[in-house]
Amino acid sequence: MTYSRNQAKQFFSYINRAKMMNRFAIEDKLAILNPADSIGRWVLAMAVSLLSVLGVHGEISVRKALGQSPSEYRLRERSIVQRGDRLERTEETTSWDAARTAVIVCDVWDYHHSVNAVRRLEEMLPSMEKLLQTARQSGSVIIHAPSDCMPHYAEHPARLRAIGAPKVDLPRNIASWNCKTLTEALGEYPLDQSDGGQDDDPQEHRLWADKLKALGRNSDLPWKSQNPAIVIDASKDYISDKGDEVWAILKSRKIEQVIMIGVHTNMCVLGRPFGLRQLASNGMKVVLVRDLTDCMYNPKQWPYVDHYSGNDLMIAYVEQYVCPTICSDQIHGGMPVAFSGDLRAKKDLLPSEVPRSKDSAVAWSLTPWKEVLDHPFSQGATRPLVRCSLRIPPELFSGPIVLSHPRIRKAWLNGHPMEIAKGQNLPTTFAMDFAHTFGNDDANVLVLEIDTSSGLQDPQVQATDLGPMVRGPTGSVTLSGRWQIKTPSDPADTNLPLPAKFALPPAVYYTLETP
């Protein structure tokens, strides 16, 4: 008896599904062999049992059966392109040498402050581990990157292996967060995550916080290690959350392409020093496994869609502006992850397919600085708030750093009121205090109250479309690009519930560069 390639693929797909779900009730699928062939039924049952015993070797066998080499990955890289006024998805089939490929596991922590985030991660863990087993068996490098957890692994062989990778010709800022790539500069970020993105039921969230505290954890930052469901091979793998170390590992192992899995797409997966932006910006070929990631998005925030549609919007954004995506089944031969809570009739949507609420106005609207005065939020409001994110390398605080613009009336840095700079009589020039930053080069949230009245006689105010200027001891940057604007406002709007690197869109990101 012979079977077509599609039949073989379907056959092994059902086997892998059974294996992943730990059950063998697949009678309805046995017709793939021969509905009247009792021997065929017996063969299939034996095959399922055998693959369960063989583990990852069984996954390699599946890839062989589908015509794939165990030493290469045949990937269907999915991207989004703009055609006129429409977005279209495209797929390109590529072959990656497994030995020249690394898999990075981003922030798959043991605990998280959001119980819903934990539940969704738990649904991805079996497929994550399955992908890692397959990749390791195929000869790929595995880098575990549970941020903030390095003390837990101080003496672990995989951590020591990472520290030992030689750091040669490191890219500039490779150890820093990356909040914006060049391709994102003009894109529209799809989600408002400035509230932190937590989508728990309030009562469940309180109970979860109580449980974390009972475990001796900080309920806001409860992670201490990687999730134990993800195996770390002490003889082969690496552990690092540092961009320079991860880059050194990739180069020392002659890695040419990276597969990224983990959470959360719109925060750490994109922005970490080892994340998608940093890798893509420095010329590394990288793909995101779209069914092994999840967003921090609260449906009570713009664009007011369900969480899973928020995921779709974020995946589409990545595909258009950052890198292609693939699905986990292209590596391990099993079934892609489908969240049990995603009850939508149609999934994996393009932005134009996501249903929007008629009341989907943004709280903070995006606008170029030169159009702030004409923005609808400025009409009838003499002093709206505007905000952006600003990165200032700590070494630049060797001298005074000041912010100035004739329309500024008040200013806040990470929620701290900024004082008028020495020698200034008018509230248009403010001093930036290093004590009000995070003590590193992370982005800060800068909030300004500006005077939009037309009665000002200062010729500087009337003549300039230039945005506020930040001047340091060795250079300056004019913040003339896009800002977020809001009115009416309240005191809470002068800060964010989490650091700006997690919260604000790339379009409003600026940096005061070192020489």
Region 166-191 average pLDDT: 94
Checking if the pLDDT of 220 tops 90, the result is yes
Helices (H), 32-182: 38-54, 56-65, 115-138, 157-163
Region 430-458 average pLDDT: 88
φ, ψ (nearest 5 deg) of residue 223? -80, 140
pLDDT tens digit sequence for 467-491? 999 999 999 999 999 999 998 878 8
Q: What is the sign of the dihedral through the CA atoms of 106, 220, 162 and 283? A: positive
pLDDT tens digit sequence for 499-511? 999 999 999 999 9
Cα–Cα distance, 217 to 170 (Å, whole number) = 36
Checking if the pLDDT of 115 tops 60, the result is yes
Longest dimension (CA), the chain: 93
Checking if the pLDDT of 19 tops 90, the result is no
φ, ψ (nearest 5 deg) of residue 459? -60, -25
pLDDT score of 64: 57
pLDDT tens digit sequence for 310-343? 999 999 999 999 999 999 999 999 999 999 999 9
Nearest to 496 by CA among 193, 106, 73: 193
Percent of the chain, pLDDT > 90?
75
Percent of the chain, pLDDT > 70?
84
Better-predicted residue by pLDDT, 504 or 41: 504
Total Cβ atoms within 10 A of residue 136: 18
Quickly list DSSP for 311-369: HHHHHHHHHHHT--EE-THHHHSSPPP--TT---SS-S--GGGS---TT---SSEEEEG
Choice among 22-26, 65-69, 476-480, 502-506 with the minimum mean pLDDT: 22-26
- Across 84-220, the runs of DSSP E, i.e. the strands, are 86-97, 101-106, 141-145
The terminus-to-terminus CA distance of the chain in angstroms comes to 71
Checking if the pLDDT of 47 tops 60, the result is no
Checking if the pLDDT of 216 tops 90, the result is yes
Choice among 52-56, 120-124, 270-274, 347-351 with the minimum mean pLDDT: 52-56
The amino acid present at 460, given as its one-letter code, is: Q
When the pLDDT of each residue in the chain is averaged and rounded to a whole number, the result is 88
pLDDT score of 491: 87
Cα–Cα distance, 514 to 409 (Å, whole number) = 28
Checking if the pLDDT of 67 tops 70, the result is no
3-state helix vs strand vs coil in the chain, percent to 5: 35, 20, 45
H helices, E strands: number in the chain = 13, 19
Nearest to 16 by CA among 45, 70, 76, 59: 59
**What token pair was written down for 414?**
């990470």
pLDDT tens digit sequence for 85-98? 899 999 999 999 99
Chain centroid to CA 431: 33
Nearest to 255 by CA among 132, 142, 160: 142
The amino acid present at 278, given as its one-letter code, is: Q
